[in-house]
Structure 1
Amino acid sequence: MRLDVFLWRARFFKARTSATEAVEEKGARIERDGQVRRIDKPATPVEPGDVLTFRAPSGQKLVRILSLPTRRGPPSEAALCYEAVGGETLARPDA
């Protein structure tokens, strides 16, 4: 699944274009198999187990992908697709 699609379906952004622009302009980081890559292409594929660092409208986020959402569902459904890393509680924006 594309990074921007995951960020939109997981409800970190209200619009997919906002997720695309955030990745292009501010970048993101993906940690996979112990290697960290800096990402500026929204079409970069993500998979369960990846750790993402990115800047959302509500601030810097550090999350681990647990599963890939099949649709943009309600916030309760989206929250099952990731977990906060480091024990911090992440506030999701209303979307």
Structure 2
Amino acid sequence: MNDRHDHDARTRLDKWLWAARFYKHRTLATDAVEGGKVQLNGLRVKPAKDVKVGDTVAIQLAEAHFTVVVTGIAEKRGSATVAQTLYAETAESAAARQAQREQRKLAATPGADLHGRPTKRDRRQIGRFTDGF
């Protein structure tokens, strides 16, 4: 793999996201950038925008938000250990993700209080509720 850590190395944003293993396919990375889920240095950009070492990339993956600093450029997608050397997550981003993880642990799962089919009493209550509107 040809990793470049020098400061003049550049590559496309979608290609870097794919090589850093944030997205499984390059088209998914392209769609995320076009959809505004990825920002480069605080700005919404196009997928072909060049990324260089030192840039800040904000990535939204489902409920997870990452803010990373580019530390390396790769021309090809490599192993996960190599991909982790291409970026460094900021301390604020890691702390926010940890807080979200803890909050999800403490939250009740949806539908935890439901147990099987509604009873006759439940059906009457549902009928009263829906007939009233």
TM-score, structure 1 as length reference:
0.79
Task: Tell me what 1:20 maps to.
Answer: 30
Task: Tell me what 1:60 maps to.
Answer: 65
Gaps in structure 1 of 5+ consecutive residues = 91-95
Secondary structure in 1 matching 2:77 = coil
Deviation at 1:8, TM superposition (A): 0.3
Q: Which of these two proteins has the greater Rg computed from alpha carbons?
A: 2
Query: Which has the larger helix fraction?
Result: 2
Higher deviation after alignment, 20-29 or 8-17? 20-29
- Runs of 4+, deviation exceeding 3 Å: none
Residues of 2 paired with 1:51 and 1:12: CA distance?
A: 15
Task: Tell me what 2:83 maps to.
Answer: 78
Query: Which has the larger strand fraction?
Result: 1
**RCO higher in 1 or 2 (8 Å CA, sep ≥ 6)?**
1
Gaps in structure 2 of 5+ consecutive residues = 1-10, 98-133
Residues of 2 paired with 1:58 and 1:78: CA distance?
A: 22
Task: Tell me what 1:44 maps to.
Answer: 49
Deviation at 1:27, TM superposition (A): 4.0
TM-score, structure 2 as length reference:
0.58
Contact map agreement 1:13 1:57 (CA 8 A) in 2? no
Deviation at 1:54, TM superposition (A): 1.7
CA RMSD of aligned residues (A): 1.9
Deviation at 1:58, TM superposition (A): 6.3
How many residue pairs get matched?
85
- Note the alpha carbon deviations across 1:16-52, whole angstroms, 9 max, x for none: 0000000101243222xxxx4x123111111000011
